[in-house]
A and B are shown apart, each in its own frame.
Chain A
Amino acid sequence: MANLHQTFIKQTHKAGITHIISVPDGYLAPLIKEVLEDKTLHHTHAAREEEALAIASGLAMCGVKAMVMMQNSGFLNSIGCFATLCQNYSTPFVLLLANRGNLYDKNSYDIPKIRYMDGIIKQMNLFAYSCHQYQNEENLVSLAQSVAETVQEPTLLLLDYPPSHSAC
């Protein structure tokens, strides 16, 4: 029986995404490990988050579908890149963010992240959707990719920290 991560990867294939670029987060790590197991997906370990956005933008400007995985704090570090590259050059891809800092998150240093993430989403009018709100949607990744292509900029999928997860 497929686990949640395998289901997500199946959706990724279904969306036509061939390249994954990631900077790990404790919550994303199991998914990234599944990606590494899948030899039909090209994976790039980016040294930092801004790079991941730039690599995905390079791929997108060549017509290749990519997904970026990172923590919300890494995204917050990369706002300049998001605005002047991803938005200015209209590069569509899916951006999966571990949205750290909710009530279930036990790490005190993660708590402020969600406040600023929520603020940035509103201020920049980003196309951001909660994975948990759409957790039964079998075409979530395809829908996110479709939105990205329609609006010609990255679509954010927010992966909220679940109550059962131990802090990492």
Chain B
Amino acid sequence: MQQKDIIKYLADNAHQENVLIVSEMGSQTMWLHSVCDHDSHLYLSGPMSMSPSVALGVALANPDKTVMVICGDGSLTMNLGGLTTIAHQQPKNLIVVVIDNGIYELTGSVATPSQAVDWQKLALSLKGFSYQSIDTSSTLDFSKDNGLRLWHAVVKPSTEKAPSFPLKPVFIHQRFKDYLFASRK
């Protein structure tokens, strides 16, 4: 299983449940866009590591929807404090996915320091978080009121280059906002 495979599996399942998806800059955004583009996607292109924090804002603004943020192990390691803020806020509708390939995929495949992290122990040490190891056959619970979830997918480094990403930030913002407003009607 590579990053592309699990992202496609997550997106396919999430769309059936009308889940909002926030993707971390870099390979998560690139793979998500390439496997399936949708108005409910908030693709980020910077700064690295802030996707869980943006997703917290999205979750607070949309308590009636489930929000899933797709991070890499390298980016989430950069913002472990963000998980603390999320745990303190306790939104019941937020799922944090960490795709763990052990490398910075877009940065010469240099190793990340996250191999020192036990994601299960980390998740369970944070108030309200549950932990699930996932793959492309997992049953996924996207219910909007089932509490904070950390889903951990161990993947092999990609054998193909992440596709280029053509969308501009202002367009992504406006499209996402338009989707939300339309879905509230």
A88 interface neighbour in B46, B56, B79, B181, Cβ under 8 Å: B46
B155 interfacial by beta-carbon distance below 8 Å: no
* Bound complex: CA A59 to CA B55 (Å): 9
B46 x A59 contact (CB < 8 A)? no
Q: Is the CB of B53 within 8 A of A58?
A: yes
Query: Are A45 and B85 within 8 A (Cβ)?
Result: yes
A85 near B47: Cβ-Cβ < 8 Å: yes
Q: How far is the CB of B44 from chain A (nearest CB, A)?
A: 7
Q: Report how far A81 CA is from B44 CA in the complex, Å.
A: 12
Checking A42, A46, A47, A54 against B60 with a beta-carbon cut-off of 8 angstroms, the contacting residue is A42
Among B22, B61, B173, B181: residue with most chain A CB under 10 A: B61
CB-based nearest A residue for B81: A47
> B173's contact among A42, A61, A84, by CB below 8 Å, is which?
A61
In the complex, chain A residues whose CB is within 8 Å of the CB of B81: 47-48, 51
Contacts of A91 in B (CB 8 A): 173
Inter-chain contacts of B177 with A (CB < 8 A): 61-63
Q: Given A46-B85, A51-B79, A58-B56, are A64 and B50 also a contact pair (CB < 8 Å)?
A: no
Chain B residues with Cβ under 8 A from A62's Cβ?
A: 57-58, 61-62, 176-177, 180
Does any Cβ of B come within 8 Å of A56's Cβ?
yes
Chain A residues with CB below 8 A from B82, complex form: 47, 51, 54
Binary B-proximity of A56-92 (CB < 8 A = 1, otherwise 0): 1111111110100000000000001100110011110
Q: Known A80-B47, A88-B45, A89-B170; judge A61-B84 contact (CB<8 A).
A: no
Closest residue to A46 on the B side, CB-wise?
B85
> For this complex, into which size category does the number of interface residues on chain B fall?
20 to 34
Q: CB-CB < 8 A to B88: which residues of A?
A: 44-45
In the complex the two chains form, what is the Cα distance from A138 to B172 in whole Å?
35
Cβ-neighbour of A44 out of B46, B55, B85 (below 8 A): B85
Judging by beta carbons under 8 Å apart, are B61 and A55 in contact?
no
Bound form: Cα–Cα A47–B82 in Å: 7
A149 within 8 A of B: no
User: Please, which residues of chain A bring their CB within 8 A of the CB of B59?
Assistant: 58
* B113 on the A face (CB < 8 A): no
Cβ–Cβ contact A61 & B176, under 8 A: yes
A89 interface neighbour in B61, B62, B172, B180, Cβ under 8 Å: B172
Name the distance in Å between B90's Cβ and chain A's nearest Cβ: 11
Given A44-B85, A88-B169, A54 and B50 contact (CB-CB distance below 8 Å): yes
Residues of A within 8 A of B62 (CB): 62
Q: Is there a chain B Cβ closer than 8 Å to A19's Cβ?
A: yes
- Whether A85 lies near B57 (C-beta < 8 A) is no
Q: Lowest 5 CB-CB distances: which A-B pairs, in order? A: A58-B57, A84-B46, A54-B53, A62-B61, A47-B81
Question: B residues within 8 Å of A by Cβ?
Answer: 22, 42, 44-47, 50, 53-62, 79, 81-82, 84-85, 88-89, 169-170, 172-173, 176-177, 180-181
**Chain A interfacial positions (CB closer than 8 Å to B):** 19, 42, 44-48, 50-51, 54-64, 66, 80-81, 84-85, 88-91
